Amino acid sequence: MKIGIIREGKTPPDSRVPLTPEHCVYVENHYPVNLVVQPSSIRCYSNEEYRKQAIELSDDFSDCDILMGVKEVPADDLIPAKTYFFFSHTIKEQAYNRNLLQAVLAKKIRLIDYEVLTNERGMRLIAFGQFAGMVGAHNALWTYGRRSGKFALGRMNDCHDYAEARRIYKTLTLPPVKIVLTGTGRVGGGAAAVLEDMGIQRVAPEAFLRGTFEKAVFTQLDCDNYAARKDGKAFEMTDFFKNPSLYKSVFQPFYQKSDILINGIFWDNQAPAFFTKEEMKSPDFRLRVIADVTCDIAPVASIPSTLRPCTIAEPVFGYDPQTEKETAPFQANAVDMMTIDNLPNELPRDASKAFGQQFIEHILAELFKEKSSILERATVAENGALGEHFTYLKAYAEKANLEAN
């Protein structure tokens, strides 16, 4: 089998890799696989680092069975009839990627989306989520520091790795800021780890709402802390996942008591948003910084002020609740929105090492099976048709065709 590591083509560019040079060596030594890496000037691991490990560098992928990237591949760059692995950001019917799914179908590409590589229980097997949460938490505090002027914190992408960031945290003195973190999965876990490394005290949700604190604190919420049945029945997690439209938000006490929101919870399109634009206009809406790690773009979003994704170069925009418009960041009348959609790229080497290891441990062997339920569940499209688990995208894909024509 021949696997190609493609150059990232999305703008702004992403420097992460699905397999590091060391991963490539391990794969070639332990599996019947040859690897070829497309040269890139932006990759966090240089061409020379791959070359030193005797990994082939080439732009010719004509004989590759599988092509692996990280972010969406530009539609014009897709090679017909190949198998691709990448994050497509199409499975929630994201309007900005309709043309990508259209091209995948037209070119009869087999698209396997990392985001839906799961085990039999539906648990994800491979993700960058931990690092998205880590960088998201760091950037939330960076944004608050810039906004308040009460402390200075450098950017995560200026650190060589997370070990350097942790050394910086030991010198950090924070004001008594209150932070609410949503989500208990990989994203939430990564964010919580950074907050604790910063010396921020974790408190239970009830204590967070009742207490007055003289130092920085955070609380971590799961779905049952922010959502409740509309009919008053008891919250049940399995029911919430199955019937999210039957629930309403009860997040109000937290936005009344928090300075910063770090949103790291998976959101279903039918689930309630945390709050509305009208609620953001209220005098008791205290949040001044929102780090939306999930970055679902409004109006189909858990955060109505996530108007667009930010970039690592320009990580924050302001949202004026009264006009419901974007404004410059760090304004007194605005909420600062940190909505970078490729956060792990601020820790690209650490993130790439962890991601590649997950791929080797959980996915690589599946490539050699005659039939893999793991790969089948993640196949968004194949041979010009939607995969078995993605037929719900039919109208979305057809709308893309209509718009393209």
Same domain, 43 and 76: yes
90 and 152 together in one domain: no
Residue 10 token pair: 């999305």
Structure tokens at 160: 């060589």
Region 276-291: mean pLDDT is: 98
pLDDT tier for residue 266 given thresholds of 50, 70 and 90: confident
Asked if 260 and 360 sit in the same domain, the reply is: no
Both 134 and 65 in one domain: the answer is no
CATH for 136: 3.40.50.720
Phi and psi, residue 179, nearest 5°:
-125, 130
Residue 118 domain flag = no
For 203: left if phi > 0, alpha if psi spans -120 to 50, otherwise beta; the answer is beta
Report DSSP state, residue 360.
Answer: I
CB 140 within 8 A of CB 262: yes
As a whole number of Å, the end-to-end CA separation of the chain is 38
Amino acid in position 5: I
**Judgement on whether residues 183 and 259 belong to the same structural domain of the protein:** yes
| Cα atoms in the Cβ-side hemisphere of radius 13 Å centred on 378 | 29
Measure the CA–CA gap between 16 and 35, rounded to whole angstroms.
17
Rounded distance between C-alpha atoms, residue 29 and residue 7, angstroms: 23
Pair (232, 292) in one structural domain = yes
Which pLDDT band, with edges at 50, 70 and 90, does 267 fall under?
Answer: confident
| Domain around 212 | 129-346
Q: Would residue 193 count as lying in a domain?
A: yes
Domain boundary among 327, 346, 365: 346
Q: How confident is the model at residue 399 (pLDDT cuts 50, 70, 90)?
A: confident
**Rounded to two decimals, what is the model's pTM?**
0.82
Q: Which of 346, 369, 396 corresponds to the end of one domain? A: 346
The enclosing H or E element of 259 equals none
User: Are the C-beta atoms of 267 and 308 separated by less than 8 Å?
Assistant: no
Q: Is residue 75 included in any domain, yes or no?
A: yes
Domain co-membership, 271 together with 328: yes
Residue 365 in domain: yes
Residue 115 lies in a domain: no
Inform me whether the pLDDT recorded for 405 exceeds 50: no
Residue 175 shares a structural domain with residue 38:
no
Mean pLDDT over all residues of the chain? 95
Higher pLDDT residue, 205 or 398? Answer: 205
- What pLDDT is attached to residue 335? 98
CA dihedral 273, 279, 280, 286 (to 10 degrees): -100
Lowest mean pLDDT among 57-61, 345-349, 359-363: 345-349
Tens of pLDDT, residues 184-238: 999 999 999 999 999 999 999 999 999 999 999 999 999 999 999 999 999 999 9
* Tens digit of each residue's pLDDT (9 = 90 or more) over 103-150: 999 999 999 999 999 999 999 999 999 999 999 999 999 999 999 999
Q: Return all residues near 246 (Cβ < 8 A) that are at least 6 apart.
A: 229, 230, 231, 239
The residue-averaged pLDDT of 286-307 equals: 96
Q: Among residues 299, 326, 346, which one ends one of the domains?
A: 346
Instruction: Verify that 335 and 359 share a domain, yes or no.
Output: no
Q: Distance (Å, rounded) from C-alpha 66 to C-alpha 68? A: 7
Same domain, 7 and 40: yes
State the pLDDT at residue 302.
96
How far from the centroid of its chain's Cα atoms is residue 246's Cα?
26
Specify burial of residue 298 (Cβ count, 10 A radius: 0-12, 13-18, 19+).
middle
Q: Is residue 114 part of a domain?
A: no
Pairing of strands 217-221, 178-182: parallel
Assigned domain for 140 exists: yes
The H or E element spanning position 237 is helix 237-242
Domain count, the chain: 2
For 167, the enclosing helix (H) or strand (E) is: helix 162-169
59: in domain: yes
92 and 169 in a single domain? The answer is no
Nearest to 61 by CA among 107, 4, 131: 4
Indicate if 89 and 12 belong to the same structural domain.
yes
Tell me how far apart the alpha carbons of residues 234 and 256 are, in angstroms, rounded to a whole number: 24
Q: What is the pLDDT of residues 353-397, one digit of tens each?
A: 999 999 999 999 999 999 999 999 999 999 999 999 999 999 999
Least confident among 255-259, 265-269, 399-403: 399-403
